[in-house]
Amino acid sequence: MRLAMNLYGMRAIYMYEMARTGRTLLQSIVSPVISTSLYFVVFGAAIGSRISHIEGVPYGAFIVPGLIMLMLLTQSVMNASFGIYFPRFVGTIYEILSAPVSPFEIVVGYVGAAATKSIALGLIILATSELFVPVRIAHPAWMLTFLVLTALSFSLLGFILGLWADGFEKLQIVPLLIITPLTFLGGTFYSTSVLPQPWRTVTLFNPLVYLISGFRWSFFNIADVHVGVSVAMTLLFLAICLAIVWWFFKTGYRLKN
């Protein structure tokens, strides 16, 4: 028995969640790949053929980081929120709560699995996009860093959502009504520098602008905001999510009464 840390417990949650992805392969992997391909067809080929370049990058390639981010954000949130909400909904959460696992281990298990899936998905979408447009990556290490940090942050956000939600409707609201619009408005398909004032300033309040900009910088060396700011904002977001999760477990919010 390891009293300091229940590695077996953490691993059990992680493996269990990964096995769930295996069962829902169509929904987890195939469907986001198909929708991304459709974005390429519509925005990249149909519309993109009329837009030549943005800041020196062919439009088809320009949208790749944004599209990966769009999928990464929505899938991270959905995977992680469902992962923890479902046991709460059906009642199997009793076992997690009665097991000798710490909140940290629970979070690592659930969020780690959700983030792993999202990172894998992001890489698959990157590979898919290669089929449509040639993509060059200027800073591969930074690209992976942004990918991992974003997947972790938004899986944590999903975990928070899954703990907070008391119905399937609430579970859907955040990805559909908040994440997706903010991603679209955050420069997925365009550079925010092309926006007129005051909209350009307004976008600075959209946290996703920083993620997409930083991620795009790692590909093409172009950014709407300085990359340092992007990194700082990503870390800040991660820290806020960690603090909320810590508070949830400390108070037993929605878990214990």
Partner 1 sequence: MTHAIAISHLSKTYASGFQALKDVSLDIRHGEIFALLGPNGAGKTTLINVVCGIVIPSAGTVTVGGHDIVKDYRAARSLIGLVPQELTTDAFETPPATMRLSRGLFGKPANPAIIEKVLKELSLWDKRESRIMMLSGGMKRRVLIAKALAHEPQILFLDEPSAGVDVELRKDMWQLVRELRASGVTIILTTHYIEEAEEMADRVGVINKGELIVVEEKAELMRKLGRKQLIVELRERLNVLPEALAGHGLTLSTDGMQLVYTYDTKAETTGITTLLDAVRNAGVRFKDLQTRQSSLEDIFVGLVRQG
The residues of the shown chain that bind partner 1, judged by CB under 8 A, are: 1-3, 6, 8-9, 11-13, 15-16, 19-20, 23, 90-92, 94-102, 252, 256-257
Cβ burial of 1 (10 Å; 0-12, 13-18, 19+) is exposed
Q: Which is nearer to partner 1, 154 or 159 (CB)?
A: 159
Q: Which helix (H) or strand (E) holds 54?
A: strand 53-54
Residues 6+ apart with CB under 8 A from 200: 192, 193
Per DSSP, what are the bridge partners of residue 54?
57
Cβ burial of 16 (10 Å; 0-12, 13-18, 19+) is middle
Q: Which is nearer to partner 1, 104 or 184 (CB)?
A: 104
Q: Which is nearer to partner 1, 91 or 198 (CB)?
A: 91
Nearest approach, Cβ of residue 185 and partner 1 (Å): 37
- CA-CA distance, 242 to 149, in Å (whole number)? 13
Q: Which is nearer to partner 1, 66 or 112 (CB)?
A: 112
Nearest approach, Cβ of residue 4 and partner 1 (Å): 9
Nearest approach, Cβ of residue 17 and partner 1 (Å): 10
Cβ burial of 32 (10 Å; 0-12, 13-18, 19+) is buried
- CA-CA distance, 223 to 230, in Å (whole number)? 9
Nearest approach, Cβ of residue 172 and partner 1 (Å): 20
CB 73 within 8 A of CB 154: yes
Q: Which is nearer to partner 1, 95 or 130 (CB)?
A: 95
Q: Which is nearer to partner 1, 11 or 139 (CB)?
A: 11
Nearest approach, Cβ of residue 69 and partner 1 (Å): 31
Nearest approach, Cβ of residue 34 and partner 1 (Å): 23
Q: Which is nearer to partner 1, 12 or 133 (CB)?
A: 12
- CA-CA distance, 230 to 175, in Å (whole number)? 22
Residues 6+ apart with CB under 8 A from 152: 111, 115, 238
Nearest approach, Cβ of residue 251 and partner 1 (Å): 9
